[in-house]
Amino acid sequence: MTGRKENTLALTALSDAFGERLITSSAVRQHHGCDESWHSPTLPDAVLMAHCTEDVVTAVKICAKYQLPVIPFGIGSSLEGQVIPLEGGLSIDFTEMSKVLEIRPEDFDVTVQPGVTRKQLGRELRDVGLFFSVDPGADATLGGMTSTRASGTTSVRYGTMSDNVISLTVVTPDGRVVRTASRSRKSSAGYDLTHLYVGSEGTLGVITEITLRLHPVPEAVSAAVVSFPDMESAVSAVVTTLQYAVPIARIELLDEQTVDAVNQYMKTDHPVQPTLFLEFHGSESGVKEQAELVGDVCQEFGGGDFVWKTLEEDRNALWEARHNGALAAMSLRPGRELLSTDVCVPISRLAEAIAEAKADLLENDIYAALMGHVGDGNFHFVIPMDRSNNEEMTKIKAFCDRLAQMAIKMDGTCTGEHGIGIGKQPLLELEMGDGVDLMRSIKKVLDPDNIMNPGKIFNGIAGSSS
């Protein structure tokens, strides 16, 4: 553990290097001591507003000298405590490293700094006929999305961050600058360093540049919504759609409880049944063909009216229900905070997993709204929580653990896209077994003093700061 004297020396050295960009005020430290998870906040010793890779190199070298923890921070939208500085240290804020460095339309790629947000990149790409596909819902930074291996509603067609990160620039724990790969679309050159850092949650180094894959804006887009008599029918329609190799862009699921909440929140009249929200990308004829085929599949499994829209304003109106699902659920429990948890299972087990989870909720009298990226077997529960009610919190946390254990038993994962952070470390051990020891070995080699975001993903790393 870093001592008080070393902390003081480190902060003095950082202050000398960065002046007013090193911030120690209580309000700023509090902002950087929490995220959107239920985990208790912990304040960093200081916050650095970084402007460039060289800033990060200087900061990391000082922190390495005095063995002060380093915690990368985007906008704090993580859901498993990834940015909480458990042992204090330096929070490096990337808000001011928010440049889109180069767009290369002919190569379908872009290089950005880590503080660029998803929506910001979308605005900058608007005039070049390309788009970045990964949409986790929140307007997260691309550095944070890379660090947590984020995904979202379009992953069923375009893939997750793992599929869309081409190359990274990383500052290692000893202050070296490493480029993990070239921009070529494939390579057999050595270890895949890029994907070692994607999903590493800041535990192996600090990402300062990201090269991302882009996709052509489709000629036509359409959306549809359809309800089903039960969850099994809805999931069967999804599986059959995928078996028919329909290149569907989004397949999202709301359970009947969430639809009811949306109806109350938005004054809509969707049937209170399990409901699929779908989106199709392609040529005008291709989109029409996809929608007709999926409409027939849904009808085969008892689907109701297949409401299909092509105009942008009509599509947005259909999707508003899905986008407002969490807000709607929270509106029914005013004054509470949001706890969101996710798991992912093989699609063949999806209906079974959802049924088992919903039975668990009913048995334990827990209100939760289900939303799922069912095209890849990933689903979430949004649970309104009262942090001050210890009995309730114990009950909710126990449900989240049982949910993850169930997913693992089905050969799924304890998290499809939220990451491990603080909250799911025991579940990672259950899921990966000896694989976690291998991860610890990699961490120990790359970060021997354990200064990079200590206490995340797993514990048990020997080092001067732990």
CA distances from 25 to 7, 21, 32, 44, 63 (A): 16, 12, 11, 10, 19
Residue that is last in its domain, among 302, 326, 350: 326
Which of 68, 210, 232 is CA-nearest to residue 141? Answer: 210
| C-alpha radius of gyration, the chain, whole number | 23
- How many Å apart are CA 363 and CA 225, to the nearest integer? 30
* CATH number of the domain enclosing 108: 3.30.465.10
Amino acid at 82: Q
Which of 16, 84, 21, 13 is CA-nearest to residue 47? Answer: 21
Q: How many CA atoms lie within 13 A of 285 on its CB side?
A: 0
Does a structural domain hold residue 403? Answer: yes
Instruction: Give SS3 for 448.
Output: coil
Residues forming a β-bridge with 108: none
Does a structural domain hold residue 449? Answer: no
Residue 55 CB partners (closer than 8 Å, separation 6+) = 18, 48
* CATH number of the domain enclosing 403: 3.30.70.2740
A 10 A CB-CB count for 215 gives 17
Which pLDDT score is estimated for 268? 92
Which pLDDT score is estimated for 344? 97
Which pLDDT score is estimated for 463? 54
pTM score? 0.93
Same domain? For 211 and 224 the reply is no
Instruction: Check: CB of residue 33 under 8 Å from CB of residue 84.
Output: yes
Residue that is last in its domain, among 307, 326, 345: 326
Instruction: Check: CB of residue 354 under 8 Å from CB of residue 231.
Output: yes
Query: Both tokens of residue 223?
Result: 């959306």
- Which H helix or E strand runs over 378? strand 378-385
* CATH number of the domain enclosing 238: 3.30.70.2190
Does a structural domain hold residue 110? Answer: yes
Residue that is last in its domain, among 272, 293, 326: 326
Which pLDDT score is estimated for 462? 58
Same domain? For 314 and 342 the reply is no
Q: Find where tokens 């704090």 sit.
A: 76
Same domain? For 311 and 355 the reply is no
- Which H helix or E strand runs over 23? strand 22-23
Residues forming a β-bridge with 252: 277
Query: Both tokens of residue 66?
Result: 């005095």
Q: Find where tokens 């490293």 sit.
A: 97
- How many Å apart are CA 140 and CA 75, to the nearest integer? 7
DSSP label of 112: E
Query: Both tokens of residue 177?
Result: 């600058």
Same domain? For 306 and 368 the reply is no
CA 14, chain centre distance (Å): 31
Same domain? For 299 and 341 the reply is no
Our count of domains for the chain comes to 3
Same domain? For 269 and 357 the reply is no
CA 152, chain centre distance (Å): 7
Same domain? For 231 and 254 the reply is yes
Same domain? For 184 and 246 the reply is no
Residue 313 CB partners (closer than 8 Å, separation 6+) = none
Same domain? For 363 and 294 the reply is no
Same domain? For 202 and 231 the reply is no
Instruction: Check: CB of residue 380 under 8 Å from CB of residue 340.
Output: yes
Which of 200, 84, 148, 76 is CA-nearest to residue 418? Answer: 148
Query: Both tokens of residue 109?
Result: 């790629």
Does a structural domain hold residue 289? Answer: yes
- How many Å apart are CA 338 and CA 367, to the nearest integer? 12
Does a structural domain hold residue 61? Answer: no
- How many Å apart are CA 36 and CA 293, to the nearest integer? 40
Does a structural domain hold residue 211? Answer: yes
Which pLDDT score is estimated for 6? 74
Instruction: Give SS3 for 39.
Output: coil
Phi, psi of 392 (to 5 degrees): -65, -45
Instruction: Give SS3 for 363.
Output: helix
Which of 128, 190, 121 is CA-nearest to residue 161? Answer: 121
**Residues spanned by the domain of 237:** 220-326
- How many Å apart are CA 435 and CA 440, to the nearest integer? 9
Amino acid at 156: V
Residue 193 burial by Cβ neighbours in a 10 Å radius (0-12, 13-18, 19+): middle
Which pLDDT score is estimated for 5? 66
- How many Å apart are CA 270 and CA 264, to the nearest integer? 10
Same domain? For 182 and 127 the reply is yes
Which pLDDT score is estimated for 466? 43
Which pLDDT score is estimated for 318? 85
Same domain? For 207 and 224 the reply is no
Which pLDDT score is estimated for 439? 96
Each residue's pLDDT, cut to its tens digit, for the chain (466 residues) gives: 456 667 899 999 999 999 999 999 999 999 999 999 989 999 999 999 999 999 999 999 999 999 999 999 999 999 999 999 999 999 999 999 999 999 999 999 999 999 999 999 999 999 999 999 999 988 999 999 999 999 989 999 999 999 999 999 999 999 999 999 999 999 999 999 999 999 999 999 999 999 999 999 999 999 999 999 999 999 999 999 999 999 999 999 999 999 999 999 999 999 999 999 999 999 999 999 999 999 999 999 999 999 999 999 989 888 888 889 999 999 999 999 999 999 999 999 999 999 999 999 999 999 999 999 999 999 999 999 999 999 999 999 999 999 999 999 999 999 999 999 998 999 999 999 999 999 999 999 999 999 999 999 998 775 544 4
Does a structural domain hold residue 448? Answer: no
Helices (H) and strands (E) in the chain, counts: 17, 18
Instruction: Give SS3 for 360.
Output: helix
Does a structural domain hold residue 82? Answer: no
